[in-house]
Amino acid sequence: MNILYPTPFYYLPADFPIYPMPWRDMEMRYPIETPHKPLKDYGKEPLVINIHGAAMRNNTFRTTIWTGDHLQVVVMSIPPGEDIGLEAHPHVDQFLRLESGEGLVQMGKSKNQFDVETFAYRGDAIVVPAGTWHNLTNIGNTPIKLYTIYAPPNHPFGTVEQLKPKS
């Protein structure tokens, strides 16, 4: 026996603000962060931070903002035409989320052959299993702003790299 329940109807006050929903208006509806927390590694302390705001404010290649025993949160800024650098982490899974910009993602089991080659844009997530060769190249005209999560941590506590390290 199917029981149909009526769809709930909510009454909103006449002065209730209704905002447009397109993603491009996200920064207007969710301010970057007030007050700003310094971009530093908060270690194993509990942390509540506007991760979008932190990523957008970051102007370094890499800054760790939280390093624990089992995972690490890092914000990055990749200038136009630059890349993260082809790399593989044998024992580390990685999650990346683009907060702004556009890039070419390449991933594969070897550094010479990519099984995945696709574009990524603001709001996209990239999941890199341990041992997978990967790179993200900025193909746009503005810096890619992103945050990434390593599990387990991949960089020393407090890492700040102003520019991409030379290979």
Q: Which residues contact 89 (CB under 8 A, 6 or more apart)?
A: 128, 130, 131, 150, 154
137 pLDDT exceeds 80? Answer: yes
- Condensed to tens digits (0 to 9), the pLDDT of residues 98-126 reads 999 999 999 999 999 999 999 999 999 99
69 pLDDT exceeds 80? Answer: yes
> In a 3-state reduction of DSSP, which class is residue 112?
coil
What is the value of pTM for the model shown? 0.78
Distances in whole angstroms, Cα of residue 86 to Cα of each of 18, 42, 161: 44, 28, 17
**The two three-digit tokens of residue 81, written as one number:** 């035409």
> In a 3-state reduction of DSSP, which class is residue 55?
helix
Give CA–CA dist 112/107, Å, rounded.
10
Residue 74 near residue 62 (C-beta atoms within 8 A): yes
- What pLDDT is attached to residue 163? 86
Give CA–CA dist 127/97, Å, rounded.
9
